[in-house]
Amino acid sequence: MSNVSELGEFLRIRRAALQPEDVGIKNYGVRRVPGLRREELAMLAGVSNTYYTRMEQGLSNNASEAVIDAIARALNLNQDERAHLFNLARPGKSKRRPQARPDRARPGTVLLINSMTSTPAVVLGRRSEVLAWNALGHKLVAGHLDFDSPNDLAERPNMTKLLFLDGHTRALYVNWPEEAARAVSSLRLLAGKSAEDPELTGLVGELTLKSPEFAKLWAKHPVQNCMSGLKLMHHPEVGTLELNFEVLAQPDESGHRILMYTADEDSPAAAGLQLLATTSKTAHRKDGLARLQIN
């Protein structure tokens, strides 16, 4: 996944989404391709057609902040899309090198989420892989998987992969298309912030080959910073849960995030989480006894 192709694809898709009447340009006759022409977008941004064409072809990676901002305004980008454009257009100022060693959650982070016994929590890496989860988080989002699976680097769960390729996870979300669109939008934003990453490229390639739904969404190049909102779930043990979610990004260079779920006070979802917490404690006690017997 190269910065050149990502920038060009993003600009072309956003330009094609704009109609001349959207930006006050008179449209004469039938257009061979949808959306604005390159020269029209360049005119709106106040740059030369040659310069904009080079950007769309990925031949210019030193555009000034003013130029990128002008193009973002011409394309009517929202805040998340604008940030994504800056990441793609100025890779040297925004990319991080991929980590050389396997990524793991910090011990302090694991202690933190384990102390949150009534709040489901999952620690995610930069590619949405699960680095750790507490007992309730595991029970909520992937109780069919082994609790220790995040520690197995070869079989480590990935939230985006589970969403598209795992039947249990797909059935968990009442409005799966909305959740799928949100996941792809978030992954696109993460991809724009990362250096050329073989593992991320492999993840996108696998999902594109195995899931036509992912491939269709990815091709649209959606971008959204999904840090909070609502998720409507139907859990096989406790039924329907309407949960708030919050994503806390850790303030270092790791790219780790903590995904937490909460329910409104005295709501059916709060009662459901309480019941799920009880069953998760029982399951972990049984699992602990089984391991002692094996050892």
Name the segment(s) of the chain with CATH classification 1.10.260.40: 3-94
User: Which residue do the tokens 């002692």 mark?
Assistant: 292
Does 68 score more than 70 pLDDT? yes
Does 94 score more than 50 pLDDT? no
Instruction: Return the minimum-mean-pLDDT range out of 238-247, 263-272, 273-282.
Output: 273-282
| pLDDT number for residue 281 | 66
CA dist 129 and 140 (Å) reads 16
Give 167-202 pLDDT, tens digit per residue. Answer: 999 999 999 999 999 999 999 888 787 656 778 888
Name the segment(s) of the chain with CATH classification 3.30.450.180: 107-294
Please provide the CATH number assigned to the domain covering 107-294. 3.30.450.180
Give 252-270 pLDDT, tens digit per residue. Answer: 878 899 999 999 999 999 9
- The Cα angle at residue 158 between residues 186 and 195, in degrees rounded to 5: 55
Please state, rounded to an integer, the average pLDDT across all residues of the chain.
85
Question: CA separation (Å) from 122 to 65, 75, 105, 183, 191?
Answer: 36, 36, 10, 15, 20
Contact 189, 78 (CB under 8 A): no
Please provide the CATH number assigned to the domain covering 3-94. 1.10.260.40
* Interacting residues of 18 by C-beta distance below 8 A, sequence separation 6+: 35, 36, 41, 75, 76
Does 288 score more than 60 pLDDT? no
3-state secondary structure of 104: coil
| pLDDT number for residue 108 | 94
- The Cα angle at residue 149 between residues 147 and 154, in degrees rounded to 5: 175
| pLDDT number for residue 293 | 44
Q: Which residue has the higher pLDDT, 20 or 153?
A: 153
Burial 18-37 (b: 16+ CB within 10 A, else e): beeeeeeeeeeeeeeeebbe
